Amino acid sequence: MLRELKEEVLRANLMLVSEGLVRLTWGNVSGIDRDKGLFVIKPSGVAYEDLTIDSLVVLDLEGQVVEGSLRPSSDAPTHRILYREFAEIGGVTHTHSVKATMFSQAGAELPCLGTTHADHFYGTVPVVRELSEKEVVEDYETNTGLAIVECFREQGLDPLKMSACFQMFHAPFTWGKSALDSVKNSIALEVCCEMAMGTWQLNSDGEILPPHILEKHYRRKHGSGAYYGQG
């Protein structure tokens, strides 16, 4: 079942290691087949070097396991909510990459300070509110997803234009058009966080990128008028 998607999700999870985004088993990637309404995700607590196509878990959008002998990632309910509520996305990545997790723990948004950021994220990367005690006890992972969706709806954010967020006290989530695309956004987020921290050390009063430059850099890579690359 879903052989091609499983191959992509396996490759995407292994990229977390090769790109230095994870330590131990602190991360997971999933990808969805929209036609079948099924998504594939890393199993819980399995070391990346032990991952195989057969160890991946397939779930439906109700959260039921339909294939796989291992327990899915404990973050699977968060992925499920994002797939359910952000209908355009095809992959989700969650890491505890160091720089982006610092922003999450500090509750600090990431403003667009330069064109590298603008190439990937259309504006300020938001912080999602902390969960209440009731939400944590009730269903921590599901409520994490619901809080992300709430944040994006309240701020009027398009999840395809803003493909990342910082979960307060937790860590970053990114998504994209595919599993691999979501990992690329996680890489970009980590690098942009590092660049921002260095920028503020050099100039704590630095301004955000002017809107006309943000618009130019984002649009040349995204949308009907994009002209970057060979696509």
Non-local CB neighbours of 230 within 8 Å, separated by 6+ positions: none
Is there a catalytic annotation at residue 139? no
Q: How far is CA 126 from CA 35, 38, 133, 140, 158, in A?
A: 30, 28, 22, 20, 12
Catalytic position from the list 54, 60, 139, 228: 228
| Answer CATH for 3-219 from 3.40.50.2000, 3.40.225.10, 3.30.310.10, 3.90.226.10 | 3.40.225.10
Domain range annotation of the chain = 3-219
Res 231: pLDDT: 60
User: CA dihedral defined by 177, 180, 78, 60, rounded to 10 degrees?
Assistant: 80
- pLDDT per residue over 116-168, tens digit each? 999 999 999 999 999 999 999 999 999 999 999 999 999 999 999 999 999 99
Is there a catalytic annotation at residue 158? no
Catalytic position from the list 33, 48, 119, 140: 119
- The label of the residue with tokens 């590092």 reads 194
Q: Give the global pTM.
A: 0.94
- pLDDT per residue over 5-48, tens digit each? 999 999 999 999 999 999 988 999 999 999 999 999 999 999 99
Q: Which residues are 33's β-sheet partners?
A: 38
